[in-house]
């Protein structure tokens, strides 16, 4: 039996943790960023049971929203990101630094429901996406507290010690985003940020009906690439990052690979963004469910 379950290098499941840390109507684009990423990972096969969605505000029901119960990431309004099939796991004032750290490390109260738990193991690839207002080595939560790069680095190390991941893809869209992964030290983490130290991360597509910008540039151009991708794609992370155009994005995205064991050219997008159904095989025969031989009297 030990041989059957012994597969130390296998990858059997994907999870996504999608975090919008901003409140208030004028931060509409941050909610749209997160919901757009949520729609993408679901379309590529990750089920809601393996997605943790954290939204610090509910702009869909904001009285300023001239399109009630809807959120859009483009002025053409072709796709309602909120729709009828969005499962928000942490909303409003539940989106805190403490709850985020507890989620990653598994240190949640015993009465925490399943949808608020990150039930990963040592065969899990975890995609973590964060967006909001930030600066050098920090990201604001709710405009009232901050998480810094050391907090996230230490949380990832706890995850490693507790065998809560196989590989992590960390993506962050905020001002000076690349500083947020500068303190990471745990193995098998691939990090991508939207802007260098000292750079802003810019919004995209101002909607005059809503009076706000509806998405950020870095997230938009990532999503534009993913629109041509499906569950069966063999496209790699290298192909994704090669599309980054600093003129269009308005900043210099960063990619940190020194902690990551694989080459980007050998890392499929679906290793993090899609469903995984790997099967472990063995040539041994196990007598599962066979009746015991009758004893002679």
E strands, the chain, where?
A: 13-20, 51-55, 90-91, 124-131, 134-135, 138-141, 145-148, 167-173, 189-193, 203-207, 212-216, 254-256
Phi, psi angles (nearest 5°) of residue 240: -65, -55
Q: Which of 175, 206, 252, 297 is catalytic?
A: 175
92 contact partners, CB below 8 Å, separation of at least 6: 55, 56, 57, 58
Which residue(s) pair with 52 in the sheet?
A: 17
Q: Which of 133, 204, 206, 252 is catalytic?
A: 133
Q: What is the DSSP letter of 168?
A: E
- Known catalytic residue: 61? no
230 contact partners, CB below 8 Å, separation of at least 6: 44
Measured between alpha carbons, how far is 221 from 237 in angstroms, rounded to an integer? 14
Tokens of 119: 């039930």
Which residue(s) pair with 131 in the sheet?
A: 20, 173
Phi, psi angles (nearest 5°) of residue 124: -95, 135
Cβ contact 54:96 at 8 Å? no
Q: What is the DSSP letter of 268?
A: B
- CA-nearest of 36, 39, 34, 42 to 15 is 42
- Known catalytic residue: 175? yes
Measured between alpha carbons, how far is 210 from 212 in angstroms, rounded to an integer? 6
Active site residues: 133, 175
């Amino acid at each position: 039996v030990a041989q059957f379950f012994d597969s130390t290098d296998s990858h059997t499941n994907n999870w996504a943790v999608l975090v919008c840390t901003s409140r208030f109507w004028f931060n509409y684009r941050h909610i749209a960023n997160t919901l757009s990423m949520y729609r993408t990972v679901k379309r590529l096969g990750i089920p809601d049971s393996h997605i943790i969605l954290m939204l610090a505000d509910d702009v869909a029901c904001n009285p300023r929203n001239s399109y009630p119960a809807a959120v859009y990431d483009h002025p053409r309004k072709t796709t309602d990101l909120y729709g009828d099939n969005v499962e928000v796991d942490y909303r409003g004032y539940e989106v805190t630094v403490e709850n985020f750290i507890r989620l990653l490390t598994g240190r949640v109260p015993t009465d925490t429901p399943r949808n608020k738990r990150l039930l990963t193991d040592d065969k899990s690839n975890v995609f973590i996406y964060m967006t909001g207002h930030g600066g050098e080595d920090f990201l604001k939560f709710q405009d009232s507290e901050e998480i810094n790069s050391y907090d996230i680095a230490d949380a990832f190390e706890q995850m490693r010690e507790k065998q809560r991941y196989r590989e992590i893809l960390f993506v962050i869209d905020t001002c000076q985003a690349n500083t947020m992964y500068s303190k990471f030290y745990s193995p098998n983490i691939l990090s991508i940020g939207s802007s260098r130290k000292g750079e802003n991360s810019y919004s995209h597509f101002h909607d005059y009906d809503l009076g706000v910008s509806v998405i950020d540039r870095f997230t938009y151009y990532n999503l534009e690439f993913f629109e041509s991708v499906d569950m069966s794609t063999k496209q790699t992370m290298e192909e994704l990052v090669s599309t980054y155009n600093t003129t269009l994005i308005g900043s210099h995205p960063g990619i940190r690979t020194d902690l990551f064991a694989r080459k980007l050219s050998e890392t499929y997008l679906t290793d993090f963004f899609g469903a995984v159904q790997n099967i472990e095989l063995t040539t041994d025969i196990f007598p599962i469910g066979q009746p015991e031989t009758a004893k002679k009297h």
